[in-house]
Structures are given as C-alpha cells and as structure tokens.
Amino acid sequence: MKKIFLFLLVFAFEKVFAQELFVFTEPASNMAAKSLGIRLNNYWMKEKADNKTNYHLLPELMIGISKKVMLHGEIFLSNRNDKFVAEGGSLYLKYRFFSIDDVHSHFRLAALGRYSYNNSSIHQQAIDLFGHNSGYEAGLVATKLINKVAMSAGLSYLHATDNGVEKFIYSNKERNAVYYTLSFGKLMLPKEYTSYNQTNVNLMFEMIGQTNIGNNKTYLDLAPSLQFIFNSRMRFDLGYRFPVVNALSRTADRGAVIKFEYNIFNAF
C-alpha cells in the first residue's frame, strides 16, 4: 500500500503534461459543443465461478450539446448469458457548472446523471449501471489540472431497480450504493507538442470503489491503463482492472478493457 502512495506522489508532482481523458471514469470537462464522439467499449471480464470470460460490447454515442452540457448514449451487448445479445442501454448527462481556468491549468466541477435499463438476470450485490443493472446514478465530479498533471475525483449515489421482469434479488436497502473514483493521468509522449498529427501516449492510474448502503460491504479496484491518441481526434485505450478490496460480491471482478473512440468536431 505504501508503494502505491509513493507511486501516486511521484506521479502527481512530476512536472509533465497530463491528460484527463480517463479510461474508467469521466472528467468534469466536457467535449466541445456541436461535436460528436463514437466509442466502442470492449470488456473481457473473468467469471470467478467457471473461469469463463464474459465479453461486453458497449457502443457509445457522445454529443456535445453545448459548452456546458454533454450527453452519452450506450447500448449493452454481452455474451454473459451464453448467447451474444443486447441487454439494454443507458443515457448519461453531464453538466459542467464551475470552472476556473488559467493557461495550462483548470479546476472544474460537473454534475452527472445516468439512467440505465438492463434486462439480464441480477447476479451480484455490486451495482453496475454500465451493463449489469437497471437503475440510476446521480453524482459530482471534480477535475484539477495543476502543474500540468490531471487528477479527478468522483462521488455518486447509485440506485438499482428491477431488471425488467428480473427482480432485484437482494434486500431493498441493498439497492443503494455510494460509488467513488480517483483518477490520475500523465502524458508520456510526445515530449514536446509540434503538431496535431503527433501520437500522444498517456499513462493513467485509477481507483474505483463502491460501498453498498444496505450491507456496508465494499469493493475497491485499481485500474492502470495506457492510452494512444492519433491525429488529435482518435483514441485507443488499453486497461486492466483488478480488486484490492473485494467484500462486495461480483461474479466477474477483473478483466481487460479496450476502447476505441473517434471524434467529429463541428458535426452539427
């Protein structure tokens, strides 16, 4: 644990350019108004019980409605229940309501909300609105870019509803959870920016946790990732998440992520 903190300290105070385009979380900053983003989220999660790997594909459309508001829509596809099928979808809205900007730095706050629908069976205590549970999320995220290092912290309230006809199988109190994230990002390459065509390589380190309000159980995951940005408009992310605290049950608690994103500026 000490080593982790030391790593984070070194990470936070090294004077390098940073990125906040995190792989496992969203920053308080929004995409440009009138721009569109298309993202393909791929997750390969290891099932604990039978060692099978579940594949989740979440195509995502992102819309910059205005300079302060953006909307994401996702479709959930997975082979978790043997056949590769669509299981639902989600809408995510983010509103940036506070911003102090200076050259090469900023502090921003945003409020976010998510509604998810999922018709797959409920199979774990942990609430996951990104491909497992129906329900909603309301939260806040703060992002700071200081000394050219990006850090972001998020705090949300999660509420799970029934998954369509699939009832929520735990107690009513366990429908509610607190979700928290902490992210760090650092630009490794290029050493110096000269053009939009340079490939950017970012190293990210994130912590993702959840505490269920009904049973007080927690999980905490560490999630390192590597990100490539091509032509200042295409993103390719490689990540892995694994638990360090694992009391809140999940059937598949570790796995790899690959994301591909393409941005269209001045789209409408």
Partner 1 sequence: MKQLILVVAVLITTTLNAQITKATLQASGLTCSMCSNAIYKSLKSVEFVEKVEANIKNSSFELSFKPGSKVDIDQLKEKVEDAGFFVASLTALVELDKITLSNDTHVDIGGSTFHFLNIKDQVADGVIKLKILDKGYVTAKAFKQNSKYTTMECYKTGKASSCCAKGGLTEGSRIYHVTI
Does residue 193 interact with partner 1 by CB under 8 A? yes
Does residue 183 interact with partner 1 by CB under 8 A? no
Does residue 192 interact with partner 1 by CB under 8 A? yes
Which region among 76-84, 118-126, 127-135, 232-240 touches partner 1 (by CB under 8 A)?
Answer: 232-240
For strand 234-246 and strand 176-189, is the pairing parallel, antiparallel, or unpaired?
Answer: unpaired
Contact 141, 7 (CB under 8 A): no
Which region among 41-49, 81-89, 93-101, 169-177 touches partner 1 (by CB under 8 A)?
Answer: 93-101
Does residue 82 interact with partner 1 by CB under 8 A? no
Which region among 15-23, 45-53, 204-212, 214-222 touches partner 1 (by CB under 8 A)?
Answer: 15-23
Among positions 11, 47, 75, 106, the unique one binding partner 1 when judged by CB under 8 A: 106
Question: What's the closest the beta carbon of residue 20 comes to partner 1, in angstroms?
Answer: 8
Q: Which residue has the tokens 């479709």?
A: 75
Strand extents, DSSP E, the chain:
36-46, 53-64, 69-78, 85-102, 105-118, 135-146, 149-160, 176-189, 200-212, 218-230, 234-246, 254-264
In Å, what is the CA distance from 225 to each residue of 89, 147, 172? 25, 21, 35
CA distance 44 to 59: 15
Contacts (CB under 8 A) with partner 1, residues 47-66: 64, 66
Does residue 198 interact with partner 1 by CB under 8 A? yes
Contact 162, 134 (CB under 8 A): yes
CA distance 152 to 109: 10
Spell out the residues 6+ positions from residue 13 whose beta carbon is closer than 8 angstroms to its own.
147, 149
Which region among 72-80, 87-95, 217-225, 226-234 touches partner 1 (by CB under 8 A)?
Answer: 226-234
Does residue 32 interact with partner 1 by CB under 8 A? yes
Question: What's the closest the beta carbon of residue 35 comes to partner 1, in angstroms?
Answer: 7
Does residue 176 interact with partner 1 by CB under 8 A? no
Does residue 103 interact with partner 1 by CB under 8 A? yes
Spell out the residues 6+ positions from residue 87 whose beta carbon is closer than 8 angstroms to its own.
76, 77, 78, 80, 118, 119, 120, 131
Half-sphere exposure of 63 (CA within 13 A, CB side): 9
Residue 29 forms beta bridges with which residues?
Answer: none
Query: Nearer Cβ to partner 1, position 31 or 127?
Result: 31
Does residue 14 interact with partner 1 by CB under 8 A? no
Contacts (CB under 8 A) with partner 1, residues 133-162: 145, 148
Peptide bond into 224 cis (omega under 30): no
Among positions 12, 34, 109, 119, the unique one binding partner 1 when judged by CB under 8 A: 34
Does residue 268 interact with partner 1 by CB under 8 A? no
CA distance 205 to 6: 13
Question: What's the closest the beta carbon of residue 203 comes to partner 1, in angstroms?
Answer: 14
Report the interface residues with partner 1, using CB under 8 A.
Answer: 17-21, 29-35, 64, 66-67, 96, 99, 101-106, 145, 148, 187, 192-196, 198, 200, 229, 232-233, 235, 263, 265-266
